[in-house]
Amino acid sequence: SAVISQKPSRDICQRGTSLTIQCQVDSQVTMMFWYRQQPGQSLTLIATANQGSEATYESGFVIDKFPISRPNLTFSTLTVSNMSPEDSSIYLCSARQGTSTEAFFGQGTRLTVV
């Protein structure tokens, strides 16, 4: 199994600012992902974080708004840029070794933009 640590666990930010969320896995993993979960909703995939190359974004999400880094096989960051109240949500990091193996999630970062 893999243990995923995310930080911060929560933050309240002013509109127009940016927040970087960190995701640390306790072992090397092949795949890392970032999700958004809006209140009362299920998870929506933002992007796949690719080690050593640009992230792969899902429809509706762009790199300028959600830049992602993945410098190695255990660490990734997601930045929420130029925030607006609509960005208030829970952001979750996920990791797995392969396509059919267990997927692990961090505890999430609860972001409130005021």
Residue numbers at the binding site for another protein (CB under 8 A): 4, 6, 41-45, 92, 94, 98-100, 102-108, 110
Distance in Å, CB of 16 to another protein, minimum:
27
The residue (of 64 and 100) whose beta carbon lies closer to another protein is 100
The residue (of 30 and 82) whose beta carbon lies closer to another protein is 30
The residue (of 66 and 91) whose beta carbon lies closer to another protein is 91
Share in percent of the chain as helix, strand, coil (round to 5): 5, 50, 50
The residue (of 51 and 81) whose beta carbon lies closer to another protein is 51
Per DSSP, which regions of the chain are E strands? Answer: 4-7, 10-13, 19-25, 31-37, 43-49, 56-57, 68-69, 75-80, 89-96, 103-105, 109-113
Q: Minimal CA–CA distance to 91: which of 47, 54, 26? A: 47
Distance in Å, CB of 92 to another protein, minimum:
5
Distance in Å, CB of 106 to another protein, minimum:
5
